[in-house]
Chains A and B, each alone.
Chain A
Amino acid sequence: MIKIENLHASIDGQPILKGINLEVKPGEVHAIMGPNGSGKSTLASVLAGREEYEITEGSVTFEGKDLLELGAEDRAREGIFLAFQYPVEIPGVSNINFLKTAINEIRKYKGEEPMPAKDFLKRVKEKSALVELDNSLASRSVNEGFSGGEKKRNEIFQMAMLDPKLSILDETDSGLDIDALRIVANGVNKLKSADNASIVITHYQRLLDYIVPDFVHVLYNGKIIKSGPKELALELEEKGYDWLKKEEALEV
């Protein structure tokens, strides 16, 4: 589905990603872990198409297309969804209106008719239940005045509504209490299918108790320094990142 090859990216001349290689196939869940400042969120931003980052080397192919050639909105329309680490507040714009606009723009891109209001509302009802999102939140302004947990649940709700092929969850677990974490993870799991895939970016192993990954990658200093099965996450939880850092240092 997505193939990242030797990806290098920098911001203001400062290299952050220094050669990432990763392939994700339909149906898979990949976890990317790593200490603070290792480049996890940069990877998410680069894939979603944030313009502050400069791609200095490498390629990203998504469903056979050169992803790096596409603008952020076209990547979204092709089926990439980023659950933001810090969801943005848009005062005065209702969640519903926001989503309806997004859905219809995506449909327009695909040459489809706008979604009939009845179908849309039905979908809102169905998907908001998935993340136990209060109905009133749907009519409130996007993320405005939402608690941290509500914002994250809202991200998953949007994900459910837009039905992406590849979801990138950027630190979706940060700032969540156990209940909220369970709801969010539950939502993600229910959305999982043989046709879509997810990249779960997290600092802690905790989220992976709920969302079970097929692969775990450790990102350190802009590179993936270790990949392995889900057990790797447990090992990291136990031993921390230091042993990997040492290994990396030895190799250099």
Chain B
Amino acid sequence: MSEIATMNVKDQFLSTFGVQDFHFDTAASKAARDEATKRIEGLDFPTSKTEYWKYTRINRILKAEYTIAESAANIDITPFLIKGMENNILVFVNGFYRSDLSTITDQKGVIACPLSEAKKKHAKLFASYFSKKVPVDEIFANINTAFHQDGAFIHIEKKQKADHPIHIINLIDGDQIITNPRNLIIGEAFSEGKVVTSYHNLNGRKSFTNAVNECFAAENSFLEFNKLQEENGTSFHIATDQVQQEKSGNFTINTFTFNGDIVRNNLNIAVAGENGYTSLNGFYLPKAKQLVDNHTRVDHLVPHCESHELYRGVIDDKATAVFNGKVMVHRDAQKTNAFQANNNVLLSDDATINSKPELEIYADDVKCSHGSTVGQLDEEAIFYLKARGLSEDSAIRLLLNAFAADVLQHIGIETFRQLIEEKIETGLKK
């Protein structure tokens, strides 16, 4: 006991992972783990003085105790299924793959399997993409690289279209579970595909999901990646979403956050090929004392690219939302068009929003703009609807749905969009 008491927060936190045995891991994977472990030694957890984490205190995440535990329970996954996507699901419980719950239908030119399998079966692909672009100075991303259990591996071959979107389901079963889920998604040149990853908590309390999603969108590929975060109100979630986009690529990422005690998303997109089109969108609906923090960063590294960002949120009760969007236009990225908007509605007197849209521009021939608004619903509009016979409650819901609709239109999977609409509808019901 006394020995533990003298350990610092970082060592204490890392000691949780000591129980894991990576003995049977492949050499390439082990090498990546070792490198990350070494980097972690030189890194510290952010504090409130770390500008990048200014509004999000993570002491509560770090001070909790966690366990790593597989679950063999027979789980009914039907509540988490998305209509039309039932035949392409990869299910992970507490971070471990459950083949008994997963269903994968073969699609030509598409690999969808657990990462653990890909490490062996697709060793070459794994070695050339895994952990290649993840930020080296982010402690949480490094922890994931060092201690990840499993995750999804999705690869779409050159010129192939994945007709059926793939759904990655992440479930937590048990108290104080910690997971490091790791997804690797690769769209080769001229390929096309759509993926959804969703995070849910069955029953446990105080879980911590430390996720990393790596996406590679090669030349002229069309990739859409959707995230649904709805773990319960005692769960923590920190995600690093790393995107590398090549020439003429078209990449869309949509992030929907409906639940979680503290949720932090770090989305980094490197637009590294000319003529790219990037769309990043989010909708958040924090309640109670929840905190949702979306940090996005788009790096325009080359000329003639366009990015569109739209994040919207409705903040209720004593919840806090944070938006920090950075658009960085590098020296050579002439003719960049970058647009960013963050709109917020506060529903209660105790709700808080901290919005920080940033532009950092080093090229002169660009068109960049950002806007951020915080406001209430238009009183006039509410009155108008009431005058037409709607109750105040349904008037408000109608307007909020319209507010969300602009974000939702970026979802390319119809049934998933409907699901999100329903979740917003339910989320807004008191």
Please determine if A and B sit in direct contact within the complex, based on CB atoms under 8 angstroms apart. Answer: no
Residues of A at the B interface (CB closer than 8 Å) are none
Residues of B at the A interface (CB closer than 8 Å) are none
